[in-house]
Amino acid sequence: MQTQSLGGCRYFILFIDDFTNYTSIYFLKSKNEAAGYFQNYKAAVEKLFSDKEKGFKIKAIRTNGGGEYSNGEFQRELKRSGIEWQVTMPYTPQENGVSENSNRVLVERANSLIQHTGPPKSYWAEALEATV
């Protein structure tokens, strides 16, 4: 985001479960925080959707080829957890349509919320969280 949030963040990361559409959003001060937030998300959804007889496990994650996903820490977490990393082709957002569409819709709704209620643009993270 062009404007820093109240919490000092400029980025957000959105995780969407393809099966349930369960969506989580995290706000980042730098992109290298992505691996830590993925660990938080993984722990939360595996607990939330766990079944005593069958444990819920993330099988794959689909992302663009951004540095926040290809760095060593993120890749180590995927390998340690046995999660397949599916990378979309560059300049083909349609390959990750669910995420791309969700990002666009959520940002548009958050911007609309800010424009119609009047807080400063630095409230974008709060508006996005409320929208999710």
Asked whether residue 4 is domain-assigned, the answer is: no
N-term to C-term CA, the chain: 17
Give the containing element (helix H, strand E) for 15.
strand 11-16
Q: What is the pLDDT of residue 52?
A: 60
Q: What is the pLDDT of residue 56?
A: 82
Whole-angstrom Cα distance, residue 10 to residue 33? 12
Asked whether residue 75 is domain-assigned, the answer is: yes
Q: For residue 102, what are the domain limits?
A: 11-131
CATH of the domain at 39: 3.30.420.10
CB 38 within 8 A of CB 17: no
Whole-angstrom Cα distance, residue 104 to residue 28? 18
Tally of helices (H runs) and strands (E runs) in the chain: 5, 4
Asked whether residue 2 is domain-assigned, the answer is: no
Q: What is the pLDDT of residue 102?
A: 92
Asked whether residue 1 is domain-assigned, the answer is: no
Q: What is the pLDDT of residue 55?
A: 72
Distance of CA 23 to the CA centre of its chain: 8
For residue 37, pLDDT over 80 is answered with yes
pTM for the whole thing? 0.89
Whole-angstrom Cα distance, residue 20 to residue 41? 14
Distances (CA, A) of 68 to 23, 41, 75, 90: 19, 15, 10, 15
Categorize the per-residue pLDDT at 53 as very low, low, confident or very high, splitting at 50, 70 and 90. Answer: low
- The pLDDT tens digits for 17-30 are 888 888 999 999 99
Counted domains in the chain: 1
- The pLDDT tens digits for 109-128 are 999 999 999 999 999 999 99
Categorize the per-residue pLDDT at 48 as very low, low, confident or very high, splitting at 50, 70 and 90. Answer: confident
β-bridge partners, 63? 87
